[in-house]
Amino acid sequence: MQLSDKKATLSFSDGSAPIEFPVYKGTVGPDVIDIRKLYGQTDMFTYDPGFLSTAACESGITYIDGDKGELLYRGYPIDQLAQSCDFLDICYLILNGELPDGNQKQEFDSLVTNHTMVHEQLRIFLQGFRRDAHPMAVLTGLVGALSAFYHDSTDITNPHHRHVSAIRLIAKMPTLVAMAYKHSQGQPFIYPKNDLSYTGNFLRMMFATPCEDYKVNEVVERALDRIFILHADHEQNASTSTVRLCGSSGTNPFAAIAAGVACLWGPAHGGANEACLQMLEELQANGGIEKVGEFMEKVKDKNSGVRLMGFGHRVYKNYDPRAKLMQETCKEVLAALGLENDPLFKLAMELERIALEDPYFVQRKLYPNVDFYSGIVQRAIGIPTSLFTAIFALARTVGWIAQWNEMLSDPDYKIGRPRQLYTGQQSREVPSKR
């Protein structure tokens, strides 16, 4: 961290002496006021529910400029990465800080490919879930269960163990997601195939059956790979912060990532793509484009409790750059699959058009986020809506594990322990006769 020349002074209205705090500069983005000594010096905490103004860590992985609509992985803009890299390049970059050269890529791809199988007993564990269980319920359980199978990579103080568990998690997530899907369908599980790409292998595990050969469609493979790239990391969002907080207690990586999966499930976070597609399907069933205006009135009415899913973001207050790329992919996939006239895509475009002109959305700086189009792409590929968030979890695993590793490698790391403003009862006696 680089100390700034600037200092911050906190003064009080009751005449107590003002206190000075150091200010640190980031490479880009807002500076931070270091308030670590605040409590010791003033007996006061800061109050910031939802972390609207609080940096909880120092990180060098991902940077978002919400006003510019910019997203960088290790300094590289997301649009450039999405045009010229595959998902495993991105995994290498996020984990190691640099893009791989030819040899590094070969080595890394082969390492991941050779860890895609899961312990055979995990299949027995999977049988315990109801067929109609939500895939995120199954995935949370399966990822947590990995810690019961891979004891040889759970020493978090050992960098080699941390590396092995990172590779295991990245490699096994597609297998687990496909297993959860096959279980829900009552179909036999398809084992990984090493001569396919990471994403091609996932598509085969999802959609092949033992009855016939499966040929990976290149457009679909590229589209899904892009979905993975766009979701790989996103700074200190709710699930990443959950992984950090959970991991800060020293728990094993599989348990920490399972906590991230659980957090991602919520509709305000990873569950938004599922909620967005459900919203589009409902709107289509209730009158389609004709009823868009009426629906938008409900969205703007605070009492209706209806939100335009796939719109708005805590950080992006300009267009989400991932949404632009996703819209492009959406057009490509629909054209390749002969679905150019897909009514949900038309509906989404119309909603976006209206929202971008409507003062309600303009004033609040609400723009489409990545989830607005990713659901349409996944649906066209044949991925069921209930699996969307699991796909997101698969892609985000690399970000979670890199952030967890970064935290543990920091010599200053401490267990996370937020404070509170207590407004409950003061100490009182339990009545003697109850």
- Positions marked catalytic: 313, 371
The window from 105-113, 190-198, 312-320, 376-384 that contacts ligand ACO (CB under 6 A) reads 312-320
* Smallest separation, CB 128 to ligand ACO (Å): 30
Q: Does 323 bind ligand ACO (CB under 6 A)?
A: no
* Smallest separation, CB 343 to ligand ACO (Å): 21
User: How many Å separate Cα 43 from the centre of its chain?
Assistant: 36
Q: Does 310 bind ligand ACO (CB under 6 A)?
A: yes
Amino acid at 56: A
* Smallest separation, CB 116 to ligand ACO (Å): 26
List all residues 6 or more positions away from 238 whose beta carbon is below 8 Å from its beta carbon: 263, 264, 266, 268, 269
List all residues 6 or more positions away from 429 whose beta carbon is below 8 Å from its beta carbon: none
* Smallest separation, CB 366 to ligand ACO (Å): 5
Q: Does 299 bind ligand ACO (CB under 6 A)?
A: yes
What 3-state class would DSSP assign to 3?
Answer: strand
Cα distances (Å, whole numbers) of residue 33 to 3, 55, 106, 345: 10, 9, 43, 45
Window 197-236: contact mask with ligand ACO (x via CB under 6 A): ----------------------------------------
Nearest-CB residue for ligand ACO? 312
Q: Binding ligand ACO by CB under 6 A: which of 32, 145, 309, 391?
A: 309
Joined together, the tokens standing for residue 383 give: 């991925």
Joined together, the tokens standing for residue 174 give: 């597609």
32 vs 348: CA distance, rounded Å: 39
The window from 27-35, 111-119, 269-277, 337-345 that contacts ligand ACO (CB under 6 A) reads 269-277
Q: Binding ligand ACO by CB under 6 A: which of 312, 321, 375, 399?
A: 312
* Smallest separation, CB 275 to ligand ACO (Å): 7
Q: Binding ligand ACO by CB under 6 A: which of 134, 313, 379, 396?
A: 313
User: Are 209 and 188 a contacting pair, CB within 8 Å?
Assistant: yes
The window from 39-47, 62-70, 241-249, 311-319 that contacts ligand ACO (CB under 6 A) reads 311-319
How many other CB atoms are found less than 10 A from the CB of residue 408?
18
Cα distances (Å, whole numbers) of residue 393 to 159, 268, 309, 318, 401: 24, 14, 19, 25, 12
Residue appearing with tokens 């949404």? 323
Q: Nearer Cβ to ligand ACO, position 383 or 408?
A: 383
The window from 172-180, 247-255, 263-271, 398-406 that contacts ligand ACO (CB under 6 A) reads 263-271
Joined together, the tokens standing for residue 13 give: 């209205």
Amino acid at 50: G
Residue appearing with tokens 């369908």? 185
Q: Does 69 bind ligand ACO (CB under 6 A)?
A: no
How many other CB atoms are found less than 10 A from the CB of residue 26?
16
Residues within window 324-383 making contact with ligand ACO, judged by CB under 6 A = 364, 366, 369-371
Q: Nearer Cβ to ligand ACO, position 227 or 370?
A: 370
Q: Does 307 bind ligand ACO (CB under 6 A)?
A: yes
* Smallest separation, CB 398 to ligand ACO (Å): 15
Q: Nearer Cβ to ligand ACO, position 225 or 371?
A: 371
DSSP string for residues in 348-393: HHHHHHHHHH-HHHHHTT--B-THHHHHHHHHHHT--GGGHHHHHH
Amino acid at 249: S
- Residues near ligand ACO (CB under 6 A) are 268-270, 272, 299, 307-314, 364, 366, 369-371
